[in-house]
Structures are given as C-alpha cells and as structure tokens.
Amino acid sequence: MTTISNTERGAAKVMNRTDLTQRLVARLHKDEAVVGGIGHTNWDLWASGQRPQNFYMLGSMGLAAPIALGVAVAQPDRMVFALEGDGSLLMQVGALATIATVEPANLCVIVWDNEAFHITGGQKSLTATGADIVAMARGAGLTNSTWAADEAHFESLVDEALGGTTGPRLIAARIDMTKPAGTTDRDPVKIRLNFMSGIAPPDKEG
Amino acid sequence: MSRDDGAEPWHETVIRVLKENEVDLVTYIPDNVLRELIDALHADPYFTVICPAREEEAVAIVAGAYMAGRRGIVLMQTSGFATLPNALASLVVPFQIPVVMMISERGILGEFQIGQAIVCKTMRPVLQSIGIEHHTIEEHDHVPFVVDSMIRQAFATRSPAAIILSPLLTKRPRAGAAQ
Ligand SMILES: Cc1ncc(C[n+]2csc(CCOP(=O)(O)OP(=O)(O)O)c2C)c(N)n1
C-alpha cells in the first residue's frame, strides 16, 4: 500500500462520482455522518440512498468540510465524512489548515476533482491548470492526504478512514464529467431535522 | 443570577452567561476589542476554542456542531461580519440553525479608517434584510440580560442571532471600574 498511496495526481485514474459515492456509502456501517457539498456532490449522495446521517447543502460553496468539522468536534466518537467538489474546496482552502490544527481523528474530507465548475456550465477550475489538492492539503498540515489511484484504492482508503484513529485525512479522486444520478429534494428544514435525528447523541433528543 | 455591582468586566460576564447556557464551543476571527474575552476563553478548559481561517468557516463549524448536539458562539469584528451574507442566507437562515454571533462594532465613535466606517454601515441592513434578530449593547449593566436572553431566544426558536458590542460598552471609560 505504501507505494500506491503516494500516487501522483497524473497517475490517478479518472473515475466516476456516482460510482465512488455508492462505494463509499456501501462501506458505512456505524451511522457515520456524511456532509455533501453544493450541487452535484450532494446530488450523488442523495441518489446513493437517503441515509438520515446525510446532510445536503443548498449553497454555501466550500463549507462542507467546516460543517463536518463542527459535527466531528461535537461527536468525537462518530466518523464524519465531508464530500466536496474541487471548485468548492478551493474557495475555502484555508479550512484545510483549520482541520489540520484542530486535528479531529474522526474526520475525512473527500474531494471530487473534475477540473471544472461542472454544474455552472463546465468552466475550467484551477485544478485544470495544475493546482494539486493533495499537495495543498499536505502543505496545510493534513499529512494524511492521498490521491485515489483507482476504485479499489479508493475503497481501501475509505476503509482506513473508517478504522482509523490517526487523525484527520483527505482523499482526492479524479472524476469525469458525467452528470449525477439524481437531484436532492431542496427542503432545508427537513434536511436538517432528518440529519439531527440521524446523528442524535443517545442521551439527547434531536 | 447576575452580579450587577458594576465590578465585573463585560468579558467576564459573557463567559459566565455562556456557561449558564451550556455554550461551550467558541469559534472566532480575532479583533482587538475581543482580545481579553478571547484570552480568557482560551484559558478556560470549559471551552473548546477554534480560530479558523475565515468567518464563514467559523459559522459553519458552529452550525455543524449544533446539528450534532453542541452549542456554540462565533466571535468577530464588523469587517468579519461583512464576509458572511452568503453563508448566513444560504445555510444558517434557510436551515433554521441557531448560530449566535457576537460582533464587536468597529467603524463608529472615533473610527480613524474610512473603509472600516463604510463596512460598518453594511452590517445592520444585511441583518435586517435576512431577518436576523440583533441587538446592540451599549450599557455595561445590560450585558448579562441581553446576552442571556439573546442566546436563550436563539436556541428556543432555532434562529440565528447577532449580539453587537458597541464602543459605548467596550471603549467608554467606566467610572469606578478597573478598565
Ligand atoms: C459563493 C458562490 N459563488 C458561486 C456560486 C455558483 N456556483 C454554484 S456551484 C458552482 C461550482 C461548484 O464547483 P465544484 O465544487 O467543483 O463542483 P462541480 O459543479 O464541478 O461538481 C458555482 C461556481 C455559488 N453558489 N456560490
């Protein structure tokens, strides 16, 4: 695993977000929380099955990881995933340093890099011209940051995160420009209430 | 419940009221006026204190923590608030998340920088237009009641709230008090 987990961005396979989201969700088994970033990212999370432990964002570009950080700090015993597009992550890139500083062992940020702002018309994003999210994350202090080489490697990285107590991590996956498999039902209060009851601490009511 | 003999500095009152309301997560971007409060929060093991890169993150962290069962507050300066309309209008307000903000008001009563004065003028119109409850504290003896009741109302009604600290509170010399 050591060599493969040092995959360069250029060597990483271009995969599919719908497929990878389903692979992630299939491996969840302990009511892990998942925060889906704006647009396509949370649409594919929605399409992968509406787990009550999922939170779907309806705007607020780049805030999936900070929201997930708040959940992780409040519930250190629950594993928390943040899913974010490359354009969104770059808009709040300082959040990587915040996560590295707070160092929650139970937080994993997953970044879908399609080199584009897909939902707004497919305009090129900054990763198309060389910005390497894993290198930036490592530079921010998130040393456990890795490009997923292929689907099997992605799954093994998710498994490591699920079993892990070694601090926050970031998984970046290169993805293609396929449209997501569904569209989130945009009812913010319902989304919040479902999420709150899905992750309610045992001693508290949602 | 409160010790209104005028001896307690406002930041100590704030800390006491936060504890009374079980608000134990604090996120902030620094401001000089908030320095003593921030220092005291860092020194107090009751609080988890996070200083992120941007105010939007500070709001999102507290929003996430609320949904996971923990109460928080966000501290910032007026200019920090000016970076927040999108996060408030697309996350906090529509999802009805009680994010409590404490904003030290800069740009009035002796401001020396025109940019700060102009930024300050955007704050209340933004709060008003997205319907966020806000109140400005000018008097030292209003601190316990206003902070406590704003926090209680925010959590009871699942609504965000902005507690604005005027220079009349934070900068005006107080008779008989060690400032
Ligand atoms: C602050 C802000 N700026 C711009 C937009 C418009 N916008 C919505 S989604 C989006 C692109 C998101 O890109 P990315 O996160 O890479 O996801 P993708 O669409 O590629 O899946 C943009 C620019 C917005 N919602 N908020």
Residues in contact with ligand 1 (CB, 6 Å cut-off): A 38-41, 59, 61, 85-88, 114, 116-120, 125; B 86
Ligand 1 centre and the CA of A57: distance in Å?
Answer: 12
Regarding pTM above 0.95, the answer is: yes
Does residue A2 surpass a pLDDT of 70?
no
Question: Residues A113-157: pLDDT tens digits?
Answer: 999 999 999 999 999 999 999 999 999 999 999 999 999 999 999
Report which protein residue has its CA nearest ligand 1's atom 1: A61
Question: Residues A171-197: pLDDT tens digits?
Answer: 999 999 999 999 999 999 999 999 999
More confident: B3 or B158 = B158
Predicted local distance difference test score (pLDDT) of residue A206: 45
**A129 in Cβ contact with A102 (< 8 Å):** no
Nearest CB partner across the interface for B68, out of A59, A75, A94: A75
What span, in angstroms and rounded, lies between the C-alpha atoms of A109 and A99? 10
Chain B residues with CB under 8 Å of A196 CB are: 67
Mean pLDDT of A81-87: 98
Mean pLDDT of B69-77: 98
3-state secondary structure of B73: strand
Predicted local distance difference test score (pLDDT) of residue B1: 45
Task: For chain B, give the mean pLDDT.
Answer: 95
Does residue B145 surpass a pLDDT of 70?
yes
A98 touches chain B (CB under 8 A): yes
Predicted local distance difference test score (pLDDT) of residue B118: 98
Question: Residues B32-41: pLDDT tens digits?
Answer: 999 999 999 9
Please report, for chain B, the start and end positions of each structural domain, with discontinuous segments joined by +: 10-112+143-170
Does residue B4 surpass a pLDDT of 90?
no
Q: Is the Cβ pair B25, A66 closer than 8 Å? A: no
Does residue A165 surpass a pLDDT of 90?
no
Q: Is the Cβ pair A191, B95 closer than 8 Å? A: yes
Predicted local distance difference test score (pLDDT) of residue A1: 42
Pocket test for ligand 1, best of A83, A118, A126, A174 (most atoms within 8 A of CB): A118
The full 3-state SS of chain A, as one line of letters, equals CCCHHHCCHHHCCCECHHHHHHHHHHHCCCCCEEEECCCHHHHHHHHCCCCCCEEECCCCCCCHHHHHHHHHHHCCCCCEEEEEEHHHHHHCCHHHHHHHHHCCCCEEEEEEECCEECCCCCEECHHHHCCCHHHHHHHCCCCCEEECCCHHHHHHHHHHHHHCCCCCEEEEEEECCCCCCCCCCCCHHHHHHHHHHHCCCCCCCC
Split at pLDDT 50, 70, 90, the class of B42 is: very high
Q: Is the Cβ pair B64, A66 closer than 8 Å? A: yes
Ligand 1 centre and the CA of A135: distance in Å?
Answer: 22
Mutate to test the interface with A, among B48, B71, B95, B99 (most CBs of A within 10 A): B95
Split at pLDDT 50, 70, 90, the class of B5 is: low
Domains of chain A: 9-198 (3.40.50.970)
A143 touches chain B (CB under 8 A): no
Split at pLDDT 50, 70, 90, the class of B6 is: low
As for the ipTM of the complex, it is 0.96
Predicted local distance difference test score (pLDDT) of residue A3: 43
CATH homologous superfamily, domain B10-112+143-170: Thiamin diphosphate (ThDP)-binding fold, Pyr/PP domains (3.40.50.970)
Ligand 1 centre and the CA of A40: distance in Å?
Answer: 9
